[in-house]
Amino acid sequence: MTGAVDLRAVLRVEPGAHVRLADLDSGATHGWEKETAAAALDAQLARLGELQDRLWAEARQSVLVVLQGIDAAGKDGTINKVMEAFNPQGCPVTAFKVPSAEELAHDFLWRVHKAVPRRGEIGIFNRSHYEDVLVVRVHELVPRAVWSKRYDQIRDFERILAENGTTIVKFCLSIDRDEQRERFQARYDDPTKRWKFSMGDLEERKLWGDYQAAFDEALSKTSTDVAPWYVIPANRKWFRNLAVATILADTIDALRPAYPPVADDVPEGLVIE
Ligand code: AMP
Ligand code: MG
C-alpha cells in the first residue's frame, strides 16, 4: 500500500489529546515502503517548490515550521532534505542555541519573535521556544513556577502569530532510545561526523525519561487548531522526510497562495523589442 493514508490526519496531535511518546512506534511507516517512498518524496518536493513560489510572489502570508526532537532525532537532516525544495531566498532557517546573555536578559519569547518569517516567507526553526519547556525544564534552568506558565504563554504567542497571517506547523521528530544509541555511535565512528558528537550528548541521554516527560507535556498542552503538532515517526529517515514534506505541502496548499494580478498598465499581447 502506498499513499492510502492521510499523514496529516494520522500524525496530528488532536488539541487536548494526551500524548505519550513511549506509546507511539517511532519505526512506523504507515504502509509506505522505502522503494516507493523515494518517488513520492520527489513529487512532494516539486509540489513544495511550486507552492513556495506562489507564497513568495503573493507576499501576504507566512509559514512557520517548528522542528523539535531529542538529540540525533534528525532535525538537521530533515532541513537538509526537505528544504532543498525551496528557493533559499524565501526560506530563512533559525537555529536556537543556548541563549546569549542579552537574550537571557529578556523574556524567553523575545529572540523567537524577532525570528518569525516575513510575509511570503517559509521560516524554519531548528529548535525553538519549546526549548524553554524542554531543556530548561529538565535542567531546572528556571524554577517550575516560571516554566509551568509557559505552556499558556506559548499558546497565546502562537495564536497572535496565527491571527496576524502566520500559519504554524510543528513537527516533533520521534526516535526511540536504541535508535539514538546507534546514531551517536555512527556519529562517533565517522570521522566526518565526529565533530557533531560531544560527551555532553551522553549526559543528556541519561535524562531520556525526563525529556520524554517534558515532550509529552509540551505536545499535550500546545497542540491547537492554529498551531498543531505532528509527531513524526523518525527512526527511518526516508519516512520522516516523506511525512514532513507531505504534511508541509498539504498545509501550504490549503492556504491557496496565488500569484498576484498583473499590473493594470501591462497590456495583452505585448511583444518586447
Ligand atoms: P545543537 O542543536 O546540537 O546545535 O545544540 C543547541 C543546544 O542549545 C542544545 O543543547 C539545546 O538544548 C540548547 N538550547 C537551545 N535553546 C535553549 C534555551 N532556551 N535554553 C537553554 N538551552 C537551549
Ligand atoms: Mg547537539
Using a pLDDT cut of 90, give the percent of the chain over it: 98
Q: Ligand 1 pocket check: which of 66, 76, 97 to mutate, most ligand atoms within 8 Å of Cβ? A: 97
Q: Ligand 1 pocket check: which of 75, 104, 135 to mutate, most ligand atoms within 8 Å of Cβ? A: 135
pLDDT tens-digit readout, 13-36: 999 999 999 999 999 999 999 999
d(CA 129, CA 5): 31
d(CA 73, CA 179): 9
| Structure-model confidence comparison of residues 2 and 247, the more confident one | 247
* Residue 206 CA to ligand 2 centre (angstroms): 14
Q: Ligand 1 pocket check: which of 66, 80, 98 to mutate, most ligand atoms within 8 Å of Cβ? A: 98
What 3-state class would DSSP assign to 65? strand
For residue 69, count CB atoms less than 10 angstroms from its CB and return exposed for 0-12, middle for 13-18, buried for 19 or more: buried
pLDDT tens-digit readout, 188-224: 999 999 999 999 999 999 999 999 999 999 999 999 9
Q: Are 237 and 178 in contact (CB under 8 A)?
A: no
* pLDDT for residue 241: 98
- The model's confidence at residue 1, banded by pLDDT at 50, 70 and 90, is very low
**pTM for the model:** 0.97
pLDDT tens-digit readout, 5-15: 999 999 999 99
Which atom belonging to ligand 1 lies closest to the Cα atom of 132? 19
Q: Is 201 in the pocket of ligand 1 (CB under 6 A)?
A: no
What is the Cβ-side half-sphere exposure of residue 219, based on CA atoms within 13 angstroms? 28
- DSSP label at residue 100: P
Using a pLDDT cut of 70, give the percent of the chain over it: 99
Q: Are 134 and 201 in contact (CB under 8 A)?
A: no
- The model's confidence at residue 4, banded by pLDDT at 50, 70 and 90, is confident
User: Closest Cα to residue 87, out of 33, 132, 48?
Assistant: 48
pLDDT tens-digit readout, 36-85: 999 999 999 999 999 999 999 999 999 999 999 999 999 999 999 999 99
Q: Is 100 in the pocket of ligand 1 (CB under 6 A)?
A: no
| Helices 34-58 + 237-253 axis angle, to 10 | 30
- The model's confidence at residue 3, banded by pLDDT at 50, 70 and 90, is low
Which atom belonging to ligand 1 lies closest to the Cα atom of 135? 12
pLDDT at 181 over 60: yes
